[in-house]
Amino acid sequence: MILPTTLIPAAAIRAFQEGEEHRALTLLRRARDAQPPHSAAWAYLERLVGLVLIHLQREVEGTFALERADPLLDGQGWTRPGLEALQQE
């Protein structure tokens, strides 16, 4: 099984921690797009994309991302990540 935290590119974590949220968003989207569509891995990254969008005050887009991701994560027994996933070392 894939560990969800290993899906997050280290560069996205660094970018978010350094206040480069738009760069983090781009890197998360690229990582998401590399996963099989609508898989748990895709949903995990889609949720993080949504949270970053909300953080950037793009609430509508972010909320839609969460609405796409959360049912997939719940259905496959994955935990829902929060922004703390981008604050890990």
Nearest to 51 by CA among 35, 69, 38, 33: 69
Give pLDDT tens digits for 34-60: 999 999 999 999 999 999 999 999 999
Give pLDDT tens digits for 53-82: 999 999 999 999 999 999 999 999 999 999
pTM over the 0.85 mark: yes
